[in-house]
Structure 1
Amino acid sequence: MCEDLKILKQGAEAKLYICNYLGRPTLIKERFEKKYRQPELDTAITKERIKNEARAIVRCKTAGVKTPSLYLVDFDRRRIYMQHFEDSITIKDFIINVFKKHEQNGSGDGLNSLDKVSVLIGQTVRKLHDNNIIHGDLTTSNMLLVQKNENVDEHDAKWLQIENLELVMIDFGLSFIDSSTEDKGVDLYVLERALISTHNDYPDIFTKILNAYKSYSKNNVKEIISKFEEVRARGRKRTMVG
């Protein structure tokens, strides 16, 4: 059923494998047992998280947010089989490449593309929240840029042209469905902290993302931003207090 199974990486919650499943490039996410948990509790928690992840991916399709296609959910083996994007780059690596090329040749083309990507991120997160999808782990490692033209190499300068790319959201392992403005505010705060820690050489990126988020839809945006600012203030207070 699954040919040429290879491990891609292992995280704190799951192992990722790549293979060919029914003739298609496939990513398998396998949640492993947590030995410190009581077995029945571990099984129940794992099943619920797999359900939440699959539900969020399916809901994204209705929301107009591109995600990996879902192929199979196997509760017995704790696995989700989904589309594997072979020709892709994470937003994290895209930003690093933009600045590397900018330092090498001083061109502003990459920075212009990065501004456009920032807008795309803000609009996409807004689509998630308008459909009450809380991602739970918004980082630039969990966003992919996928080539519209399959013949473009990731090291080619065309990677810096946003018209050749589309955004794909991945890793919904901590996601859930909720209409709470508090949870949406926390989602934005997680994204801001991730950007500060990973991309502090581009300090304006979150501002551009947030502006795009606010302008894409006016639906209860003031309440969400207000909650985000409350969460941010609490986070800063904890940082100062230690």
Structure 2
Amino acid sequence: MSSTLGASESSILLKQGAESKIHAVTFLGLPTVVKERFPKTYRHPALDASLTRERMKAELRAIAKCRQIGVRVPVIYFVDEQKSSIYMEHIQNSNTVRDFIQKVQAGSGDAQRLLVPLMAKVGAIIGTLHSNNLIHGDLTTSNMLLLEPAADANIILIDFGLSYVEASAEDKGVDLYVLERAFLSTHPNSEELFAHIISAYQEANKKGLREVMSKFEEVRLRGRKRSMVG
């Protein structure tokens, strides 16, 4: 990746997905993550540029909204519109919630004692998002960073590439369902832990809660039917 205003020449590719590449660099002397959206050759260039620009704006708005409502997210350092890149804080001394859960469950200690408070924090964060009509769009335990020491349950939410603002119960129900599917596939036999997430979510998001939970159950049922018919 070519250097940009104050960025180091060297970079480390951390991750590449269907929409973007994630690099680790030093920017203005700070450990930095660069999220670089690359062109999609299957789309018309003008359409691709327009869609990319709108997705970047939505992601930046979501991150700003999180800071406003007290949900911890990486600090944005710089936005390079020409290169469709966002330079943001590289969170040090952290692990994904996914890795932490798997490590605890693989150990010999009391997993419930260690994980239940963490699940409550996860549920409260998602409830805060939804009570402010913010849909994450890709809720997984891989998109949650847990700062050391883990006992403090300090979580930083990341990857808002699919986020948007929406007040509908349907969209909030789908957001919960995405998390449930990801959670139970990544952490098998953890239904009880997920129940603690939902319980904390309900405490944090009272806005239209009955409708949200009803839609969540509807989406669950649709998902089961699709699984049964293949």
TM-score when normalising by structure 2? 0.94
Q: Could you list the runs of 4 or more consecutive aligned residues of structure 1 that deviate by over 6 angstroms after TM superposition?
A: none
> Are residues 1:227 and 2:215 paired?
yes
Residue 199 (structure 2) aligned to one of 205, 211, 221 = 211
Give the Å deviation of 1:205.
1.7
Q: How many residues align?
A: 224
Contact 1:133/1:178 (8 A) holds in 2: yes
> Are residues 1:113 and 2:101 paired?
no
* Matching residue's letter, 1:17: H
Secondary structure of residue in 1 paired with 2:83: coil
Contact 2:131/2:206 (8 A) holds in 1: no
How far apart, CA to CA, are the structure 2 residues paired with 1:240 and 1:100? 31
How far apart, CA to CA, are the structure 1 residues paired with 2:77 and 2:211? 37
How far apart, CA to CA, are the structure 2 residues paired with 1:216 and 1:129? 9
* Matching residue's letter, 1:121: V
Contact 2:130/2:205 (8 A) holds in 1: no
How far apart, CA to CA, are the structure 2 residues paired with 1:33 and 1:92? 30
Give the Å deviation of 1:25.
1.0
Q: Which range moved further: 190-199 or 211-220?
A: 211-220
Residue 155 (structure 2) aligned to one of 167, 170, 176 = 167
* Partner in structure 1 of residue 186 of structure 2: 198
List aligned pairs for 1:1-242, cutoff 5 A. Answer: 1-3=6-8, 4-102=10-108, 107-108=109-110, 110-147=111-148, 159=150, 162-163=151-152, 165-242=153-230
How far apart, CA to CA, are the structure 2 residues paired with 1:205 and 1:45? 37
Secondary structure of residue in 2 paired with 1:80: strand
Contact 1:73/1:80 (8 A) holds in 2: yes
Contact 1:98/1:111 (8 A) holds in 2: no
Per-residue CA shift, 1:73-132, capped at 9, x if unaligned? 211101011110121100110011101222xxxx21x43121011000000000001111
CA-based RMSD: 1.2
TM-score when normalising by structure 1? 0.89
Give the Å deviation of 1:169.
0.4
* Matching residue's letter, 1:180: S
Q: Which range moved further: 136-145 or 197-206?
A: 197-206
* Matching residue's letter, 1:130: S
How far apart, CA to CA, are the structure 1 residues paired with 2:43 and 2:205? 42
Contact 2:146/2:156 (8 A) holds in 1: yes
Give the Å deviation of 1:201.
3.3
How far apart, CA to CA, are the structure 1 residues paired with 2:172 and 2:106? 33
Per-residue CA shift, 1:10-55, capped at 9, x if unaligned? 1111111111111111100001111111111111111111111111
Give the Å deviation of 1:202.
2.1
> Identity, % of aligned pairs?
48
Q: Any unmatched runs of 5+ in structure 2? A: 1-5
Contact 1:66/1:167 (8 A) holds in 2: yes
Secondary structure of residue in 2 paired with 1:76: coil
